[in-house]
Structure 1
Amino acid sequence: MTSATAADYGWIRSSSSLFGYALDAGYTLTLVRGVSPDELLDVVEAEARGVCEGFDELTEQHMAVLDAYEDWPESFLAGAFTVRGEGGDWTLALEFGGDVGTRPRFMEALSAGTRAVSHSSNGGKPMHFFHWYENGELRTTFELPKARTGSTPDELNAVMSEVGLNPAGDQAPDVDGKAAVFALAERLTGVRVTEALLAEAEYRTGEVAEEPAEEWESITIDLTDAHGEGTYVQLRRDQL
């Protein structure tokens, strides 16, 4: 296991850092051991889009996918490449505004017989997630380090503390939580993500369809009167 800490990932906040775009637009970064980029794109049902030479070209192709839709985009671009890590080759997949690394069915399939780790941000809103899967099982996941779930929610507590996260309470104000999550991912994968790595990689790309909206039959509205008495109204789809 590496000795990475949040200090090793201070570059993501640099004013000149290319990762600033990912933080602004929202991103998901996924690492899977022993699965090739083409295999990963196949598992996530991506439509092949060829190769992007470097981070700048990946962002350009991402914008081209968005521009193809008049209203809300129905898909997003995922780029993947091979990188060395603990135990052999890993695939690093990166998306802007995508959610490959947060969809359980994808992560369960990708991690079958191996390990998969992802972290993400939805851009403007302060929502940041971390997921660790092992052999198809979600072992530890959190938005806030102190609110962990999964089959082994406390297994990473010691490592989380070492990288700068606080599994017992509020995050220390002098530690960049996002940088610490990068370090936690490195501890689990052996993959050191650097600005040069992302800038110079050859990304195999594919277009991934957005998840369809869930069907719903009714909504429930809670009501409270002036005396504090509560009731509710349930409305069917055909009543709205």
Structure 2
Amino acid sequence: MVLSPAEFSAFLQRHRIKAINFASTLLSHEMPEMFVDVEHIIFGGDRADAAALLRLRQAGVRAELINGYGPTEVTTLSCTHVVQDDDIRDGDVPIGRPFANTSAYILDEDMQPVPVGVQGELYLGGAGLAGPVVVNMYGITETTVHVTLHPVDWATEPAASESVIGDPIADLRLFILDEHLEPVPQGVVGEIFVSGPGLARGYQGRPDLTADAFMPCPYAERAGERMYRTGDLAK
């Protein structure tokens, strides 16, 4: 949903929204008064603009301002600071202290900590830092792309010749069937069929294709349930 500044302001007031979180760039918009009824404003994802914060105050916005600094690699926020009016007047808004699961270091070119008040490059570490997590999500367009999910085990799976697709997501069921639409034994190759509330109704305007790919489900949990023939093989 895309709203104009006036529509966004009306949306905030209509729903009595008191706390909001967004990218720092939105603070630079020409209608700071849209936030006049908000009590807590959390912003991050970019350098905090002291001039934009000053315009908020001049527009009568008395909300608590929270600078949430952080890059995408720590899921956006790594440090937080409640902005004081002195910060705004000084022109440099502090990024604050790191979250409990994050460590922050200001280092020189030799990777040594710089003295207090000396400029250096900011490095982040700790449990909040992104790790090599990869999730394989098998799926098809007829289920809005995703059917299953499987977190990849880097210790064993990169060397495997076959991809593990994992378990179906909550609104879908998955069957591996033979040519008679009977379940195959574990470890035996069969065709993947998908059913459940997350399955599409069919192809708009193409009843012939729908009838060919979407068939009555012999393992239905509700009346009229159908399943989709994917054409993909699994075991």
Return the TM-score normalized by structure 1: 0.21
Higher strand content, 1 or 2: 1
Which structure has the larger Rg? 2
Structure of higher RCO (CA pairs closer than 8 Å, 6+ residues apart): 1
Higher helix content, 1 or 2: 1
